[in-house]
Amino acid sequence: MVFMGDRATLLKTGRFARGHAHPEEKTADVAFVAATAQYNDIIESAETAECAASVESAETVETADGVENAEGAETAASADNAESEARHRRAADAGDTASMSVLGALLLRRGDLAGAEPYLRAATADGDRAAANNLGVLLHQRGYPDEAAGWWRTAAVAGSAAAAHALGRHLRERGDEPGAEYWLRQSAEQGHALGAYALADLLEHRSDVGAERWLRAAAEQGHREAAYRLARTLERNAADADHDAFGRAGLGPRADAGRAPDPAAPRRPAARKDDGPVAGPEPSRTGEAEQWYRQAAARGHRRAALHLGAILEQRGELKEAGRWYLISAKAGEARAACALGFLLRDAGDRESAAVWWLRAAQDGDGNAANALGALHAARGEQQTAERWYRAAMDAGDVNGAYNLGLLCAAQDRTAQAEQWYRRAAYAGHREAANALAVLLLQAGDPVGAEPWFSKAAEAGSVDAAFNLGILYAGRDEDRTALLWYERAAAAGHTEAALQVGMALLHHGEEREAERHLRCAAGGGSAEAAFRLAGVLDSRQPPPGPPALGEPLPEKTECEEWYERAAEQGHRRAQVRVGMLAASRGDVESAGRWYREAAEAGSRNGAFNLGLLLAREGSEREAALWWTRAAAEGHGRAALRLALLAARRGELAEGKRWCARAVELGPAEVAERAARLREALHQELTA
């Protein structure tokens, strides 16, 4: 026995759901957070100074585009050289403005705020733009944001893009969005990547369509978080609806009225609406999104690697998808570890899948915990499965409560199952609401079941809509039942399409009925295939036996549908396929299908098989099959047995079978059997 999460939802939405977002989900560049390294992105050097080539922050890992180099500036490698620092110190002590600015920047990067401040103040007093910006950084780190903003404004007015960016961020933190937008735009228009990214973040927060332009500007300069968010924007815009890259709008497991939902294999976890892979109808935009995901992933962005893996898996490039999942998972992305686990499971390596699910579950991924629960449930390790389902629930995944309900229901712990279903249903789990309604219906409480069916159906549960149809049909409210069947059928529910087709046939709407029957038959319904074949069969004349020397005619469409139903074990279809084969003169095929139907309990199949055997001279075996058919209530079989007994001279036996045929009918058979019985009676009394 295996379990899964929200089976309908997971098929529909897919993969990367979590109980809560990581703090870095909407991280902007980190110029003003606590770590000193995060200030490095806005430290400027003097116009003739050296600069640090690149600075990494906790999440963006961007280059220090805010560090300005002037003509003749040396590289960061030489700036780190002790000899170079000593040279700048001597020049600064001698009053050289450029050297004071460079030395102040070096000490600031090193965290020596006390040592950097006098040099930066001196350089600023001489009008050095970079020093003014860096003095603002120093003061902000020391807890003097207002004074820092004054120096950033001075530098920004003098043309410093890094200072304009820093000032814009400061104003935004103070709630002055118009002022923030002005200075961030000044920074972005000067080509400052962090300024462009911060401006895009501000505009996106206001749902301004201009955000994409600035995300693109920052991404084109190598800003990896901008590249990731640009890809997310492009992917969302390309999709008409938020569908998971792995999922499909489809059916969940049906829980017919009168029985509980069947457990099914675990599916990939569902995606968060704002951070799950989406698939849309514009491949060019999605292709562009993939390119930006690649750029961000190549620069170490773990969520970009996760989404890139999702796109590749959807496209069937599983090896490459697995590589990016692995990179993301090793970087600490729990959802990637969970996705990698599903990829390995699908490849048949359940042991390795369990390793990655365990890693993801230990990092708080509820979907991975659910997958582990399913894995242990399939092994019969119920207690371990329950522990992981509880862990999933504790991680905020409502599927955990639903799976606990399934687990308890499978163990006939109905009261506990109802409690877990209720808990999941109250949390909005539509399939749990459907399962709870089924449980209540089984307990004889249709009044209590109906509102839960309704809640689940209104929330999009196809199974619940179908079950409501069954509920109303049981009350003879056929019109209301048909409405719910139609709703479920429109969502692709096979059995609901069959019910709609049958209702339309009953009302004489054959063409519309045929459309629904084709949908149901295409979905695997043997009954729908049989009824569709019957509709098609009624439109064509009965085939006659082929003339001598003529080849057997080709099978018609209706016969193909009969055969499809017959191959699925539909007994009436098996009998009909046998009859069509016999009409073509294909006695061997006819006998095979009659025998399959008879052995499955079809009295018509047994009767027809008896006829076939009798024609071939096997009356003894024919009598056995007729006896079986007569015992199941087949009047013609009883009449055949009476005739056979009379021919053998077994008059009493023949009279007995005549009485049975009269009892079973139909009228024509009863009339013939009565005449034969009278004749046998006269013979016996003569």
CATH number at residue 477: 1.25.40
Q: What pLDDT does residue 366 have?
A: 94
Amino acid sitting at position 645: A
d(CA 112, CA 103): 11
> Could you tell me if 494 and 525 are in contact, meaning their C-beta atoms sit under 8 angstroms apart?
yes
Q: What pLDDT does residue 619 have?
A: 87
Q: Is the pLDDT of residue 63 over 50?
A: no
Segments forming the whole domain that contains residue 451: 428-484
Same domain, 33 and 121: yes
pLDDT in tens, 164-214: 999 999 999 999 999 999 999 999 999 999 999 999 999 999 999 899 999
Domains of the chain: total: 3
Cis amide leading into 666 (omega within 30): yes
pLDDT in tens, 273-316: 445 544 444 555 678 999 999 999 999 999 999 999 999 999 99
- Which residues is 278 bridged to in the sheet? 244
d(CA 363, CA 360): 5
d(CA 423, CA 398): 8
Residue 93: which residues within 8 A CB-CB, separation 6 or more?
none
pLDDT in tens, 451-509: 999 999 999 999 999 999 999 998 899 999 999 999 999 999 999 999 999 999 988 88
d(CA 678, CA 686): 12
Q: What pLDDT does residue 40 have?
A: 42
Q: Scan for tokens 């021919």, then name that residue.
A: 647
Q: What pLDDT does residue 45 have?
A: 41
User: How far is C-alpha 276 from the chain's CA centre?
Assistant: 10
d(CA 27, CA 296): 14
Q: Scan for tokens 């009659």, then name that residue.
A: 594
User: Region 235-241: what's the mean pLDDT?
Assistant: 71
Q: What pLDDT does residue 549 have?
A: 52
Q: Is the pLDDT of residue 16 over 50?
A: no
Q: What pLDDT does residue 432 have?
A: 95
d(CA 673, CA 659): 7
d(CA 484, CA 115): 77
> Over the Cα atoms of the chain, what is R_g?
39
Share of the chain above pLDDT 90, in %: 63
Q: Is the pLDDT of residue 72 over 90?
A: no
Same domain, 442 and 512: no
Q: Is the pLDDT of residue 248 over 60?
A: no
- Residue 244, φ and ψ in degrees, nearest 5: -70, 145
Residue 429 tokens read as: 């789990």
Residue 510 tokens read as: 């054959």
Mean pLDDT of the chain: 81
Q: Is the pLDDT of residue 145 over 50?
A: yes
Angle at 500 between CA 498 and CA 501, to 5 degrees: 65
Same domain, 441 and 583: no
Q: Of 112-126, 237-251, 581-595, which has the strongest mean pLDDT?
A: 112-126
pLDDT in tens, 588-633: 999 999 999 999 999 999 999 999 999 888 888 999 999 999 999 9
d(CA 323, CA 342): 14
Q: What pLDDT does residue 28 have?
A: 29
Lowest-confidence pick of 60-64, 335-339, 442-446, 573-577: 60-64
Same domain, 181 and 54: yes
pLDDT band per the 50, 70, 90 thresholds, residue 151 = very high
Q: What pLDDT does residue 278 have?
A: 42
d(CA 537, CA 206): 63
Same domain, 111 and 210: yes
Nearest to 52 by CA among 25, 20, 28, 76: 76
Given 222, 253, 269, which residue is the final one in a domain?
Answer: 222
- Helix %, strand %, coil % for the chain, to 5? 70, 0, 30
pLDDT in tens, 367-388: 999 999 999 999 999 999 999 9
Q: What pLDDT does residue 79 have?
A: 43
- Residue 278, φ and ψ in degrees, nearest 5: -125, 155
Given 175, 204, 222, which residue is the final one in a domain?
Answer: 222
> Could you tell me if 250 and 493 are in contact, meaning their C-beta atoms sit under 8 angstroms apart?
no
pLDDT band per the 50, 70, 90 thresholds, residue 237 = confident
CATH number at residue 80: 1.25.40.10
Whether residue 545 lies inside any domain: the answer is: yes
Same domain, 587 and 456: no
Q: What pLDDT does residue 488 have?
A: 93
CA dihedral 373, 378, 382, 386 (to 10 degrees): 20
Pick 34 or 402 by higher pLDDT. 402
pLDDT in tens, 323-341: 999 999 999 999 999 999 9
Angle at 160 between CA 159 and CA 166, to 5 degrees: 130
pLDDT band per the 50, 70, 90 thresholds, residue 256 = very low
Whether residue 636 lies inside any domain: the answer is: no
Pick 610 or 269 by higher pLDDT. 610
Q: Scan for tokens 């029985």, then name that residue.
A: 259
Same domain, 474 and 583: no
Angle at 453 between CA 447 and CA 454, to 5 degrees: 95
pLDDT band per the 50, 70, 90 thresholds, residue 23 = very low
Same domain, 136 and 162: yes
